[in-house]
Amino acid sequence: MFHYILFYKPYGVLCQFTDNDNRENPRQTLKDYINIPEIYPVGRLDYDSEGLLFLTNNGRLQHRLSHRQFAHPRTYWVQVERIPTDADLQPLRQGLVIQDYHTRPAIIRKLETEPTLYPRNPPIRYRKNVPTSWLEITLTEGRNRQVRRMTAAIGFPTLRLVRTAIALEPLTKASKSGKPITQLNLEGLTPGEWRELNPLERQQVEKLLFS
């Protein structure tokens, strides 16, 4: 039987089931929350990031959703230091060089109000007299610490990062069809909670294997 799990990963949890690098003082892992054997995350979410994680034991689906060639969008709410202008964000929309790779263009909008999120434990560290703002960033790739490196490259360090959605339809395909992108999201979950996909969601994800 294939499992399809949505998990709201809290801050400070490794995106794996064992902590092989820190055996004397082990950190929390997915095993502390999910007791289902032989399932694996689709993509990764950093130790210091929060939000939506999709896990499955369907290897074909895992490859289909995680490999950058299929360009499945992932959406994040990102709190940054200071308040960027549209001109500041333009390099991210165009793609920029970070270390040895050129990022794909990102979809970015500034959030007018702070999003409703559960408090982070521990809270972020603010700098006195330095304002913060929130962005919604959608990527079609998931390189190591990519969002943090992107905002740092334009001078707006990331303070908090929450993945809110994983799209099941590639952005290019969706834009041509004009249909809304079908997404998995955090709705109904609190940090540390998980659930199996409902029958309709299972049908939607399994369609990917035949597209």
- Catalytic positions, written as ranges: 46
Nearest to 157 by CA among 44, 79, 74: 79
| Omega of the bond leading into 123 within 30 degrees of 0 (cis) | no
In terms of Cβ atoms closer than 10 Å to its own Cβ (0-12, 13-18, 19+), residue 9 is buried
**Amino acid letter at 167?**
A
CA 29-32-33 angle, to 5 degrees, is 105
Nearest to 171 by CA among 68, 56, 86, 30: 68
Buried b / exposed e across 100-112, counting CB within 10 Å, b at 16+?
eeebeebebeeee
Rounded-to-integer distance, Cα 16 and Cα 178, Å: 36
